[in-house]
Amino acid sequence: MQSSTTSYALHELCRRVGGNIRGSGDVLIKRVANLQEAEAGDIAFLKGDKYKKHLANTRASAVILTEDAAEYCPVSALVVTNPYLIYARVAEILYPVPLTVPGVHEQASVEVGATIHASASVGAFVFIAASAELGENVVVGPGCVIGDGCKIGAGSRLIANVTLQKNVILGKRCTIHPGAVLGSDGFGNAQESGVWYKVPQLGGVVVGDDVEIGANTTVDRGALSDTVIENGVKLDNLIHIAHNVRIGANTAIAAHVAMAGSTTIGERCTIGGAAALAGHIDIANDVHITGFAMVTKSIREPGVYSSGMPAQRNDEWHHSVIRVRQLEKLMERVKRLEQQLNIEQKGPHLG
């Protein structure tokens, strides 16, 4: 783990992120680390009971933890209610985003008519189309492509090799990681006599403020209306979002999730890795879908939803599959037995 270029006294970090100090507030912090590997000058954090066994032997200068764990901490502690969140804020202080130099790199290609704020930074081998607009303090890293009609809000960062096809609107303070593609054509095809005909994709992509989109994630443009990602959404790497999908504010989606067209996901949802969502369904607010789940129908109520079978020994899985295949025959036998039982219960017919 790299060290910060600046050290901060624990009491200064506390002043900036909140919490209470147990022990000395004068210890200097220059790096974040985990409990097991931390050394002098490091600050670690403890979340839950899983890693509590490492607390007694930590060599960190300070630990971020909750009140109930503070008495077991052998070093200075920053006592808070949400250690992981405060750790993130401390890390932001110790490792600020590097400052960029405003201006357009000489090896960038900017068409006449593009609007670029004087504070924006455009890297080498970037292409910016004539009708694109870059706001204040926007950073476009090397190799990015910004298409016609694209608008990038203030403070947003495209790290490298990001493609925004035409009519992609990014809000403020968004972060788009390398290889992401926004505004690619949706998978729209009509069939006649066994031949596929492409349906033009005429919509765009609208992304709200404070959205993060991971590496190699794709967001298709809408077919007619826009694909919409609302404020505060966090998307992991290698996610596929089809045309006309709408993702509600502050929803988080893990890697390898695929969702078909015209799906609507509510606010504050979480979707675990490798889940799949069918098209034209609605997911309510505050729904949490676990990894590898297959969602084929709308979910109307908040809660946790799961499907799929966890991994097991191959011989056990084989027996389970056999039992599943036998269910149809078993149901037929039960049906026949029920019919026979009904006849016997009715008794002989008396004329």
Q: Do 52 and 26 belong together in one domain?
A: yes
The answer to whether residue 1 sits within a structural domain is no
Domain that holds residue 107: 103-305
pLDDT digits (tens, 9 = 90+) for 85-132: 999 999 999 999 888 899 999 999 999 999 999 999 999 999 999 999
pLDDT bin (cut points 50, 70, 90) of residue 260 is very high
pLDDT bin (cut points 50, 70, 90) of residue 145 is very high
CATH number, residue 58: 3.40.1390.10
What are φ and ψ of residue 304, in 5° steps? -105, 130
Q: Do 111 and 260 belong together in one domain?
A: yes
pLDDT of residue 166 exceeding 70: yes
Active site residue 240: no
Residue 350 has a pLDDT of: 54
Spatial strand order in the sheet of 294-295: 109-110, 127-128, 145-146, 163-164, 181-184, 218-220, 240-241, 258-259, 276-277, 294-295
CATH number, residue 211: 2.160.10.10
Residue 1 has a pLDDT of: 58
Q: Which of 243, 256, 280, 349 is catalytic?
A: 243
Does residue 319 sit in helix, strand or coil? Answer: helix
Q: Do 232 and 87 belong together in one domain?
A: no
pLDDT digits (tens, 9 = 90+) for 186-198: 999 999 999 999 9
- Count of structural domains within the chain: 3
pLDDT of residue 324 exceeding 90: no
pLDDT bin (cut points 50, 70, 90) of residue 310 is confident
Q: Do 145 and 272 belong together in one domain?
A: yes
The answer to whether residue 201 sits within a structural domain is yes
Question: Radius of gyration of the chain from Cα atoms?
Answer: 27
The answer to whether residue 3 sits within a structural domain is no
Q: Do 159 and 253 belong together in one domain?
A: yes
